[in-house]
């Protein structure tokens, strides 16, 4: 990801040139949200998750007869299996847009919850809907946060995927969202790095729910399939802290750039990735010895340090953006904090550290243990995306750092990234809504449902201008809006 002048992912670099931006890459994040309807009178929940989700999406269903819509901001908003509201960001090729779009998803969900709660109150239902950007429900069932990276189609995709596995196994020591594992028959409750790590069962696979791999290889580029394919990462935790989102996306982007330029990470392969991901998760020091494929051992901190060192050497030839430099700095500071045992050094930027400090301070004041129900409620509140929730108060108090202004995130709710295909989609969706025209939309295709206007296929995700879109909007304007009520 880089500036507008960067070349698309995997474009060969001319010999003898000076510093260049990193390859221009399309990135998107899909986030499933947890939902509950808590009683306002202390009784049992008045709505189960399924009915709460239906209530949440009622305005969308009434407006478009569907719980699966694309927004004027270029994003996709829909109800996923298991009654999980999901927000998929628009296509982004700049880190600031990724962060703004991800936060726009939180704002969108919070606004829908606010509207739903107003309707419940008006109907006399003693309940309040809450949405949580986390990855485990009260029964331990998992749901995901998936990252999508557009990569050049080439023969060594599978090798690239496998060599990225050690990074995805160990990056949780930096970008995990933190989790309290309940007590079991043989162990006390304990705090770990990640909510997702114990849910994963395979390194690389084409399945998503059955084997839960770190990287899903299903080939859906939503672009020219002869040139591109998708790197679909499904191991990540949902992040509240913008610093964690910045680091996980920027690190993957730069590692992909490194590999596309001929770099190699194969010497750092792990012997048993699924064992290693659990060992890493449950050792808060970051120093557990992981067995490498070559028989030696390496700690998660040292493995991440090796990746950082190679990316820094590669980045010496790149013209990095300010956010890319900030991500590399946070990567280094996160590792230094672990080596020093100083959680507070990154507790305003990385979720696992922020939540750990929050729970630790409360436990000290209340004389509580990790399995105290009050700490469980506090840990859940950290992920509540309500406008008046804990996250908002932490940011307002300077306890969580913002990397993009809140105004930019609110603008992203209705304004798509200006430099990708999302700009075209967002323009059409917005105008169709204004004119009350029925529109069929997916990531690539636009079709006005009038039986006359030809469908448009937007196969280039990097293109932000298309005369066919201009003509479609002009045709809608010429036809005018439908009468109210139709």
- Please list, in sequence order, all residues whose beta carbon lies within 8 angstroms of the beta carbon of residue 209, skipping any fewer than 6 positions away: none
pLDDT of residue 144: 93
In this structure, are 410 and 441 located in the same domain? Answer: no
Residue 323 C-alpha from the chain's centroid? 17
Buried b (16+ CB within 10 A) or exposed e, 397-425: eeebbbbbeeebbeebbebbbebbbbbbb
Question: What does the alpha-carbon distance between residue 103 and residue 365 come to, in Å, rounded to a whole number?
Answer: 32
Residue 375 lies in a domain: no
Q: pLDDT value at position 66?
A: 85
Give the whole-angstrom CA distance, residue 11 versus residue 307. Answer: 23
- The H or E element spanning position 396 is helix 390-396
* Domain span at 393: 33-133+383-417
What does the pLDDT average to over 210-228?
91
In a domain, 484, yes or no: no
pTM for the model: 0.95
Domain co-membership, 180 together with 261: yes
- Residue 4 pLDDT level (bands cut at 50, 70, 90): low
Is 237 an annotated catalytic residue?
Answer: no
Whether 370 is covered by a domain: the verdict is no
Mean pLDDT of the residues in the chain: 94
Q: How confident is the model at residue 64 (pLDDT cuts 50, 70, 90)?
A: confident
How many C-beta atoms lie closer than 10 Å to residue 486's C-beta? Answer: 7
Q: Is the model's pLDDT at 15 over the cut of 80?
A: no
DSSP three-state, residue 30: strand
Quote the CA–CA distance of 424 and 97 in Å, as a whole number: 16
For the chain, report the end-to-end CA distance as a whole number of angstroms: 43
Share of the chain above pLDDT 70, in %: 95
- What pLDDT sits at residue 485? 44
Inter-CA distances, 106 with 265, 280, 392, 467, Å: 35, 29, 11, 33
Calpha distance 446→429 (Å, rounded): 9
- Domains identified in the chain, total number: 3
Q: To 10 degrees, the CA torsion angle through 199, 191, 139, 198?
A: 10
My answer on whether 387 and 286 are in the same domain is no
pLDDT single digits (tens) 322-366: 999 999 999 999 999 999 999 999 999 999 999 999 999 999 999
Question: 40 and 74: one domain?
Answer: yes
Q: Give the HSE-up count for residue 251: Cα atoms under 13 Å, Cβ half-sphere.
A: 30
Gap between the Cα atoms of 92 and 185, Å rounded: 46
What number is the average pLDDT over the span 265-280? Answer: 98
Rounded Cα distance between 405 and 391, Å, is 15
Mean pLDDT of 145-174: 95
Report the C-alpha gap between 292 and 300 in whole angstroms: 11
Question: 104 and 227: one domain?
Answer: no
Residue 104 exposed, middle or buried by CB count within 10 Å (0-12, 13-18, 19+)? buried
**Can you give the pLDDT at residue 187?**
84
Q: Identify the band that residue 68 occupies on the pLDDT scale cut at 50, 70 and 90.
A: very high
Element (H, E) at 375: helix 373-381
Taking 3-state DSSP, the helix, strand and coil percentages for the chain, each rounded to the nearest 5, stand at: 40, 15, 40
- The rounded distance, in Å, linking the Cα atoms of 413 and 248 is 22
325: in domain: yes
Residue 210, pLDDT score:
65
- Tell me: do 161 and 291 sit in the same domain: yes
Same domain, 466 and 339: no
Do 340 and 272 share a structural domain?
yes
Same domain, 207 and 343: yes
60 with 112, same domain?
A: yes
Rg (CA), the chain: 23
Residue 485 lies in a domain: no
Other CB atoms within 10 A of residue 271 CB: 14
Rounded Cα–Cα distance for residues 228 and 318 (Å): 23
Of the candidates 4, 48, 50, 80, the residue annotated as catalytic is: 80
Q: Are residues 311 and 399 in the same domain?
A: no
Q: What is the pLDDT of residues 241-270, one digit of tens each?
A: 999 999 999 999 999 999 999 999 999 999
Query: Tokens in use for 448?
Result: 């006005």
**Burial (0-12, 13-18, 19+ Cβ within 10 Å), 309:** exposed
Per-residue DSSP letter, 292: B
Query: What percent of the chain stands above pLDDT 90?
Result: 84
Q: Do residues 277 and 255 touch, judged by C-beta distance below 8 A?
A: no
Which of helix, strand or coil describes residue 335? helix
| 142 is a domain residue | no
Whether residues 250 and 214 fall in one domain: yes
């Amino acid at each position: 990801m880089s500036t507008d002048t960067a070349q698309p992912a995997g474009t060969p670099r001319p010999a003898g040139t000076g510093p260049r931006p990193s390859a221009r890459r399309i990135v998107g994040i899909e986030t499933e949200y947890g939902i509950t309807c808590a009683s306002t009178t202390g009784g049992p929940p008045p709505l189960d998750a399924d009915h709460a989700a239906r209530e949440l999406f009622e305005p969308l269903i009434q407006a478009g007869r569907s719980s699966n819509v694309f927004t004027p901001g270029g994003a996709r908003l829909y109800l996923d299996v298991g009654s999980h509201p999901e927000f998929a960001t628009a296509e982004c090729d700049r880190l600031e847009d990724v962060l703004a779009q991800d936060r726009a998803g939180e704002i969108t969900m919070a606004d829908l919850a606010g509207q739903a709660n107003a309707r419940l109150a008006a109907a006399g239902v003693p309940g309040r809907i809450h949405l949580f950007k986390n990855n485990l429900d009260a029964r331990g069932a998992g749901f995901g946060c998936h990252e999508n990276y557009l990569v050049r189609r080439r023969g060594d995709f599978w090798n690239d995927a496998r060599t990225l596995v050690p990074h995805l196994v160990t990056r949780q020591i930096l970008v995990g969202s933190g989790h309290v594992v309940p007590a079991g028959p043989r162990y006390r409750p304990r705090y770990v790095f990640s909510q997702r790590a114990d849910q994963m069962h395979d390194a690389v696979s084409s399945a998503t729910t059955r084997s839960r791999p770190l990287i899903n290889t299903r080939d859906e580029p939503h672009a020219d399939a002869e040139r591109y394919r998708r790197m679909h990462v499904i191991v990540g935790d949902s992040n509240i802290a913008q610093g964690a989102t910045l680091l996980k996306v920027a690190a993957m982007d730069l590692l992909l750039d490194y590999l596309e330029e001929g770099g190699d990470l194969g010497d750092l392969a792990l012997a048993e990735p699924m064992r290693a991901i659990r060992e890493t998760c449950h050792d808060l020091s970051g120093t557990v010895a992981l067995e490498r494929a070559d028989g030696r051992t390496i700690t998660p901190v040292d493995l991440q340090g090796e990746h950082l060192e190679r990316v820094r050497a590669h980045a010496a030839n790149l013209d990095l953006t300010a956010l890319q430099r900030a991500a590399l700095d946070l990567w280094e500071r996160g590792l230094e904090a672990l080596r020093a045992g100083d959680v507070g050094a990154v507790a305003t930027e990385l979720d696992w550290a922020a939540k750990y400090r929050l729970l630790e301070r409360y436990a000290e004041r209340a004389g509580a243990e990790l399995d105290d129900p009050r700490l469980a409620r506090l840990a859940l509140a950290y992920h509540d995306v309500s406008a008046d929730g804990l996250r908002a108060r932490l940011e307002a108090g300077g306890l969580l750092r913002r990397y993009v202004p809140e105004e930019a995130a609110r603008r992203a709710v209705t304004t798509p990234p200006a430099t990708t295909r999302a700009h075209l989609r967002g323009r059409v969706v917005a105008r169709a809504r204004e004119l009350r025209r029925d529109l069929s939309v997916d990531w690539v295709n636009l079709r006005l449902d009038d039986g006359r206007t030809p469908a448009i296929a937007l196969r280039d995700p990097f293109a932000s201008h298309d005369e066919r879109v201009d003509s479609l909007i002009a045709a809608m304007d010429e036809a005018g809006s439908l009468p109210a009520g139709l």
